[in-house]
Structure 1
Amino acid sequence: MSHNPLWLQWAQQIQSIAQAGITYSKDPYDQERYRRLREIAGEIMASYTSVPKDVLSQALAAEEGYLTPKVDVRAVVFDVRGRLLLVRERGEGLWSLPGGWADVGESPGEAAAREVLEESGYRVRPVKVLAVYDRARHAHPPLLWYVYKLFIRCELVDGTARTSLETDRVGFFDRDSIPALSTSRVTAAQIRRMFEHYDNPDLPTDFD
């Protein structure tokens, strides 16, 4: 069951239909109708959020081709004491697993390793996909895009803690001392599940 509000589900469906029509329709009048549908999706989203309508319209118009979910990769890194690596997001002062959007041309494992190095200063080796989640089915706040979240277990190789343009603190935390989380990126339930994977490495990959 989706945790997204109905208005967002409707707007995303309208956006998806509009984007497919813009991509595949050859009729200029149909093209105009589909662009208007895309504008309506933006207007719905703007009505329920603080994002200006022109900003949303530009973001929607930037999408090309058939609309598919975006991929958010999160790295799950434990130290020898069983503590979990978290980074604090500079913009909001809340903590998250290192991660972000996967880039075109890199594998999920490469994306996880890159994000850890960029956001924390540690070099890691990806070893297992722990979970593939549909963001809309978890307790995240609403987001414009439809997103799949990949949680990848990584082993520490070397490095020392280092902040970045996006992060201002780096630390390892016990399961009973997890700081305030950036729920747009990771939820408390997901963190608990990562510790369960640590306790039982033979657990299969989770997926929705």
Structure 2
Amino acid sequence: MTADARDLARWSETLAGIARTGMAFTESLYERERYEEVLHVAGDIKAAARAAADEVEVEREVDHFVQEWMESIGEGVPGYVTPKVAIGAIVGNENSEILLVQRKDSGIWLYPTGWADIGYSPSEVAVKEVSEETGIECDVSRLLGVVDGQRMGFSRFGMYMLLFHCTATGGELNPHPLETGDVGWFSRDELPEATAGAAWWGSMAFAAIDGEQAPATFDPVRDAIWRTDDT
């Protein structure tokens, strides 16, 4: 998806989030009707973004987006729309290698990741995902950073990734039979060709594996949040 299409997608999801949150709290029929109109505008923008990326035809997608958004509206605080939270684990071993998993559905390689689960702390999710996806046991060392997935372009909806550095403590490589095609340890110079996003996370990951200490990173505030980079 191009930068312009990503901006359109971000704007549409933001508008939809505002409208859905408004519908969750308001008791006014008039306001609900206005918020629903905003959802249709957001659907137009999102469909245009996907069309700009040569993915779909606009006309057949708008109603689908609006219906999906409408079905997700709750009441009160449960209806307040926020980004989803994902947890990623950079796991290193004594050979300064990184643990990667191959997604069964796409064939793409990446560090272990998963959605945050209720009842677990973020670090506990990291340990759980590593064990379930790879068979490796690990300890969590520190938080490496918080990433806005939509801003980075690897998510089409609001999503924050909490990325932890972990150290392997035991276990054996054993890919999850449903989610994982393969697992393995890789050096910085021998990452699989189909490794996703290593250009932005690779140096940070191997610096942590090498024992370098640095403050957790986060996306800087943009000079003009709601304008494209070229305006």
TM (norm. structure 2) is 0.78
Following superposition, the deviation at residue 106 of structure 1 comes to 1.2
Following superposition, the deviation at residue 181 of structure 1 comes to 4.2
Per-residue CA deviation, residues 101-141 of structure 1 (Å, 9 max, x unaligned), is 11122110111111111111112222211111222343x34
CA distance in 2, matches of 1:130, 1:48: 32
* Aligned residues of 2:24 and 2:73 also touching (Cα < 8 A): no
The code of the aligned residue for 1:89 comes to R
List runs of 5+ in structure 2 lacking aligned partners. Answer: 220-231
Q: Percent identity?
A: 33
The code of the aligned residue for 2:34 comes to R
Runs of 4+ in 1 over 4 A off after TM superposition: none
Shift of the 48–110 alpha-carbon distance from structure 1 to 2, 3 Å rule, reads same
Partner in structure 1 of residue 161 of structure 2:
149
Partner in structure 1 of residue 139 of structure 2:
125
Correspondence 1:36-51 to 2 at 5 A: 36-49=37-50, 50=55
How many residue pairs match? The answer is: 202
CA distance in 2, matches of 1:25, 1:63: 12
Following superposition, the deviation at residue 58 of structure 1 comes to 4.4
Following superposition, the deviation at residue 182 of structure 1 comes to 5.4
* Aligned residues of 2:91 and 2:99 also touching (Cα < 8 A): yes
Shift of the 181–60 alpha-carbon distance from structure 1 to 2, 3 Å rule, reads farther
CA distance in 1, matches of 2:173, 2:126: 17
* Aligned residues of 1:109 and 1:152 also touching (Cα < 8 A): yes
Correspondence 1:60-79 to 2 at 5 A: 60-61=69-70, 62-64=72-74, 65-79=79-93
* Aligned residues of 2:149 and 2:161 also touching (Cα < 8 A): yes
Partner in structure 2 of residue 158 of structure 1:
170
Following superposition, the deviation at residue 57 of structure 1 comes to 3.5
CA distance in 2, matches of 1:55, 1:121: 39
Please say which of residues 31-40 and 83-92 is displaced more in the overlay.
31-40
Shift of the 46–177 alpha-carbon distance from structure 1 to 2, 3 Å rule, reads same
* Aligned residues of 1:42 and 1:60 also touching (Cα < 8 A): no
RMSD of the TM alignment (CA)? Answer: 2.1
* Aligned residues of 2:96 and 2:210 also touching (Cα < 8 A): no
CA distance in 2, matches of 1:71, 1:78: 23
CA distance in 2, matches of 1:102, 1:10: 25
Looking at both structures, which has the greater relative contact order when contacts are Cα pairs under 8 Å and sequence separation is at least 6?
1
